[in-house]
A and B are shown apart, each in its own frame.
Chain A
């Protein structure tokens, strides 16, 4: 009896196994490999992915890279080995180191889409640098940095000297190094502009507060603060206020376009920020992955600036003209 039951069960499983590939109506399964699932920016990307997935009838899961490139590399290997997913969307922690794992994934027939940064040795090249990589939804970090620096240069046009403090994330990150070099290159073209100090904010308001307090100690007169991240301006603004500056008297420009900064720009304490649209990026990434899975041809590069209703640099003037605008992430 037991033997017969076992045989029947085996036959039943075999039947399921053989019919499974024929079930064309099975939804696609897509993994989102976040650089950190606990990060607000990554969560906004995932929210965009989920919204598009719901519209397309696709199943998605998020994996937490915990801001750890080694962990994310292992996740790619595990997800490829698990065979449960038709596609990956990845926000890389290490844009260079993750490439071999993604090559293995594409070789295994998995569709791969990169968001936020391109994968490969050249951060300025948005075309696929990994064989088989379908689409990159990212902006060249130098383009945004150039726009930010040019905004500072425009503000400084009538000031001589115009003293600028730069608060960068961390110079050990290649993308932050590229941004910092771009800042220096653009501002260096204007003899009236002096970069009086460069501090590291580590994407942390508290670290930025400390850096800005120390910078002000050595350079009490500051005309502008140029930063790649909105989080840095939170600390910079507090340091400036504590030092005796009126809010808004120093030109402060950040990056990220989160709601906290939008509110600060409207209140006049921050001058401008660089547009970023994580929700739209996630949505576009999922749509590109599904297009490829369905046999279509997705664009190799989607520029996030094209997905946004906002200008590259968002100012109070623009926000005043668009009072109903809300940012795609809180901060």
Chain B
């Protein structure tokens, strides 16, 4: 009896802890659910399969980048060049599609992204430059290349062989959404079920300890940047295929949106902790806000204000997890 009495206070403490932990883990999902309920009541057009699939399709390029960027941020890095890689990959793909072959353009986009991502990783690890500065600089170089390729003009690519990726569907679902699904699962498996994933977390958690444990931290970081570059290139060809148009300014500001989505999903900006699925949820949250504004035809002046408030609310819910 005495044992039971002594044990009794432990129960409410555990449930309080569990609630806090739940809120921190699922804060972004909670906000998404609240928003979805609100939008469902406000507009009959919102909760339709077509609209929900549209949101997923519209978000696919950003979500691809955010999924891979999660690994970079968990490894303790930052990538400000994803928008520029997106731009240069999309115009390169468009240029190749028009001037050489549409399929070659499709293949070249992600490969070019991979190459540029690896270059980022090599600069960061080879010259020991902080990833923030290195990718800020490389983003300027990559954006410059995009402008040089196009001369600042748009490149129309009105070809069926090129448009299928961005506009094609399997049943009701866009191919871009299926690619996002496969890529997200791949990133989740890579992070949570492989030795590489454990090393990514170890490098971001404590690089020195990782080195002492025999982890080749430079290779891990280079690989993370390579993956993000690949994702940005893949996102680029999906976007350029969708609008049948290469544009040098494509992806401007996308790098910050991707970072915002990852942080919104609760991944620590200090590295060492995070989850790919929550970054995707972060992207969807941002997309839902935009969708809601367009569907309800609300004055766009309120969009930034609302987005900011919702981001603060979501981050506040998951704040405890990020304090280190």
Residues of A within 8 A of B (CB): 37-40, 42-43, 170-172, 196-200, 204-206, 209-211, 213-215, 217-218, 231, 234-235, 238, 242, 258, 260, 329-331
Contacts and interface: CB of A to CB of B under 8 A. Distances in A.
Contact of A214 (B248, B249, B295): B295
Given A214-B54, A238-B243, A260 B45 contact: no
Given A206-B243, A206-B250, A235-B243, A218 B152 contact: no
Contact of A43 (B143, B153, B296): B153
A42 B247 CA distance: 15
A218 B296 contact: yes
Contact of B152 (A42, A199, A209): A42
A215 B297 CA distance: 8
A238 B152 contact: no
A40 B154 contact: yes
Contacts of B291: 214
B2 to A, nearest CB: 64
A172 B301 CA distance: 7
Contacts of B151: 40, 43
Interface string B297-315: 1011100000000000000
Given A199-B294, A206-B239, A242-B167, A217 B152 contact: no
B295 A218 contact: yes
A38 B290 contact: no
A71 to B, nearest CB: 13
Nearest to A39: B152
Nearest to B247: A205
B244 interface: yes
A331 B153 contact: yes
A221 to B, nearest CB: 12
B294 A260 contact: no
A217 B147 contact: no
B51 A217 contact: yes
A159 B162 CA distance: 38
19 contacts: A40-B151, A43-B152, A170-B300, A198-B300, A200-B300, A204-B247, A206-B243, A206-B250, A210-B294, A214-B290, A215-B297, A217-B50, A217-B51, A217-B294, A231-B154, A238-B167, A238-B243, A260-B154, A330-B154
B149 to A, nearest CB: 11
A213 B247 contact: no
A43 B148 CA distance: 12
Interface in B158-174: 167
Interface string B243-279: 1110111100000000000000000000000000000
The winner among B46, B243, B244, B248 for most chain A CB atoms within 10 A is B243
